Structure 1
């Protein structure tokens, strides 16, 4: 009987410790001052090669296709400091957006990035800070179809990249999106 209670006690301590560490990691992510929120752990790391309709290849990108760059952004764990291979470069308007997932849960603040072509019925005219849009992108659960507010907008070259997370794990393929400002030459 005592062994069973001791085993149960150890199990509960391990379980509580794991929950505590997960909560601390999420809080540390949110405290970085970046767009990372607790929901970004659910962000789709690898994506399809499929591109939004109407997206145009960059005429003169800073980083050419198949070149390498170091990622300075920390949109997701293991991204910052990783060496990326450029698999796509496109000229468009990029947006940081805030929205409440269609699946419920906490609002996502300052999500980076969605592009003009990731917005429903966007047309060619860029949106401005404070405007409301509907997301067609599905980078994260509950993103597609969500109403979002534009936090930041900029016309620039956006990149799709492959990289191996600095935290280990499977290679990330076709990550959408990083800006030239978030990349440096190796």
Structure 2
């Protein structure tokens, strides 16, 4: 499996709009309820960005080779080549323009699920004692809570 680029630059895709009224605001402390990576579930985090968009779980084969990565969460509308502004349907074939992990940029993918939501970028310290992660992209609202 490709290596996750745990910390990001904090840059967001062109055209991504900040959420006017997110449930969790920049600076809020939250708890992560997702296991995209080891040490993530239950980790305390700080919200560093909140954006309104469409989030997709996708299955893709890395451009670097290897086995397909099933149900990767999350890639957003603005990270899909020529996606337009309307949500795409499950089963749609797309080209990824995200660099969350090695081999993702330019990879062909199939959309598994679609969620129109507020997505969040967070800083967190893994529960397994790993190094702090900065600007992790992306978590959806249902994967966060205040406790």
TM-score by length of 2: 0.98
Residue 64 of structure 2 is matched in structure 1 by 103
Structure with higher strand content: 2
Please provide the CA RMSD for this pair: 0.8
1:64-143 aligned within 5 A: 64-143=25-104
Any stretches of 5+ residues in structure 1 without a counterpart?
Answer: 1-38
Bigger radius of gyration: 1
Q: Helix, strand or coil: the match of 1:46?
A: coil
> Mind listing any 5+ residue stretches in structure 2 that lack a counterpart?
none
Corresponding residue for 1:175? 136
Instruction: Tell me the CA shift for residue 66 of structure 1.
Output: 0.3
TM-score (norm 1): 0.78
Which residue of structure 2 lines up, in the alignment, with residue 57 of structure 1?
A: 18
**Higher relative contact order at CA 8 Å, sep ≥6: structure 1 or structure 2?**
2
